[in-house]
A and B are shown apart, each in its own frame.
Chain A
Amino acid sequence: MNINLTLIAQLISFAIFVWFCRKYIWPPIVNAMAEREQQIANGLQAAERASADLEDAKAQIAAELEDAKQQAAQIIEQANKRGSQIVEDAKEQAVAEGQRLKEAAKSDIEQEVNRAKEQLRSQVATLALAGAEKVLQASIDESAHRGIVDKLASSL
């Protein structure tokens, strides 16, 4: 157990090794470890966020699906309503058209009747005149007695 210069030499080499470790070993390793720690923390956080996002997306999908269903139901309902409306309208129109046609036919018939009456009247007058002419022979002045006969015809 001799105490000698070894003591000093060991002290110096100790100092050098500590300095070397402080300068070249410790900082890069610790930095890398801290960086990795950060990366892992970030990764975990991202995973958490992603799963939260997934939940959100799922909820959104469900909501949108519900919305779409509602809209579809609404559209179908509207279509149904519109369909029955159209049928209703068509019925009404058909009825109106029928009515109109009936009216038109009626007035046509009336017109036709009137026209026939008119024709008949004029022919009656002519016939009456011809008959009267035959009866009276030339004693009647056509131009003088035409008015009387026409009056007679119109009263038929």
Chain B
Amino acid sequence: MAGANQTPAEYISHHLVNLTYGKLPAGYERVDAEGHSHVLEQATWTIAHGSQEAADMGFMAIHLDTMGWSIALGVLFCWSFARVAKNVTAGVPTGFQNFVEMIVGFIDDNVKSVFHHNNPWIAPLGLTIFVWVFLQNLMDLIPVDWIPWLAMQMGVDYMKVVPSTDVNATAGMAIGVFILILYYSIKQKGVGGFAAELAFQPLPKWAMPFNLFLELVGLVAKPISLALRLFGNLYAGEMVFILIAVLSNVGLWIVLSFGLHFVWAVFHVLIITLQAFIFAILTVVYLAMAYDHH
């Protein structure tokens, strides 16, 4: 466990705090580990000690662990796939090229079955989302304490290794998708056409306010559901892993904990793949809807 003398509640909440770098306002009172407190004379950019400071930083803060891991995984994706793309051959595919082609073919088939317009961005977008989100989710299968413990040895207090358990990460991607939905809706239908679509259906024109309300809720629900579905699933899964890990600290329960961990991990293999696929395919579906005239 990350800390030797923690209560289960402390342990759990410790696992749920991101490594946050942000701006504390002037006059903020910080309390260090020994209980001494001092007041900041001016606004300071620093790493938060504990969840309270992280929360007090407000919007002007960034989760170093989320960004570090997600960028590292994104780079891993780009690097490994680009290496295949560089040496790709139309002859007999071998080794990793097989694997990459399997994923690319899988995404390509799915995108073609959903998205019937000509847009060279959609399929690569789907591939990026699928693989990147999958890799982020995959971090959930690393036993919950390994990397935080390593980080602790290196003097880093907080380390959340699964980027998709951070709502900022999932919402960041979902907002990207939302921007694309708006862009392609307007590009395909024009501002007027898009507005008409929002205002003049499902009921006739006289019910415009009602229509507008209904359609806007529907529109905004797309990115929110994308972000929260992924976040919720992974956050809950991570929480279960943490709870199982808590068990292992309580005497005889350790055997049961191992068993449970294994069972949940096997089940989680399904969840992380499914959630990555759902995020990718719903993105494509939403963009197909942006193209279609209703």
Q: Does A145 contact B (CB under 8 A)?
A: no
The total of Cβ contacts below 8 Å across the A-B interface reads: 137
Whether A18 and B124, one on each chain, are in contact in the complex, defined by CB atoms closer than 8 angstroms, is yes
Selected interface stretch from A26-34, A93-101, A124-132: A26-34
Interface size on B, residues (CB 8 A): 53
Instruction: Report whether A10 and B82 are in contact in the complex, using a CB–CB cutoff of 8 Å.
Output: no
Bound form: Cα–Cα A22–B175 in Å: 19
Assembled-state Cα–Cα distance A17/B104 (Å): 16
CA gap between A58 and B3 in the complex, in Å: 84
Question: Would you call B204 an interface residue if the criterion is a C-beta within 8 Å of the partner chain's C-beta atoms?
Answer: no
CA distance A27 to B163 in the complex (A): 28
Which residues does chain B contribute within 8 Å of A1, judged by CB atoms?
167
User: Which one of B20, B22, B86, B172 contacts A8 once the chains associate, using CB atoms below 8 Å?
Assistant: B172
Residues 1-41 of A, flagged 1 when their CB comes within 8 A of B and 0 if not, give 11111111111011111101110111111101101100100
Name the prevailing secondary structure of the B interface residues: helix
Residues of chain B with a CB closer than 8 A to A21's CB = 77-78, 81, 124-125, 127-128
Q: How far is the CB of B43 from chain A (nearest CB, A)?
A: 15
Distance between B177 CB and nearest chain A CB, rounded to angstroms: 9
Taking A3-B167, A22-B124, A29-B100 as contacts, is the C-beta distance between A17 and B78 under 8 angstroms?
yes
CA distance A1 to B89 in the complex (A): 46
Please provide the chain B residues from 116 to 162 with a CB less than 8 Å away from any CB of chain A in the complex.
Answer: 120-121, 123-125, 127-129, 132
Q: Can you report 22 residue pairs joining A to B where beta carbons are below 8 Å apart?
A: A2-B54, A3-B167, A3-B168, A6-B63, A6-B172, A7-B168, A7-B172, A8-B172, A10-B70, A10-B163, A10-B172, A17-B132, A18-B121, A18-B128, A22-B124, A25-B127, A28-B85, A29-B100, A29-B101, A30-B108, A33-B105, A35-B90
Given pairs A4-B62, A11-B172, A21-B128, 8 additional interface contacts (CB within 8 A) = A4-B22, A5-B59, A5-B60, A5-B62, A6-B62, A10-B172, A11-B175, A33-B90
Which 5 A-B pairs rank lowest in CB-CB distance, beginning with the nearest?
Answer: A10-B172, A6-B168, A35-B90, A26-B124, A22-B124
Q: Which residues of B contact A (CB under 8 A)?
A: 18, 20, 22, 54-55, 57-63, 66-67, 70-71, 74, 77-78, 81-82, 84-86, 88-91, 93, 100-101, 104-105, 108, 120-121, 123-125, 127-129, 132, 163, 166-169, 171-173, 175-176
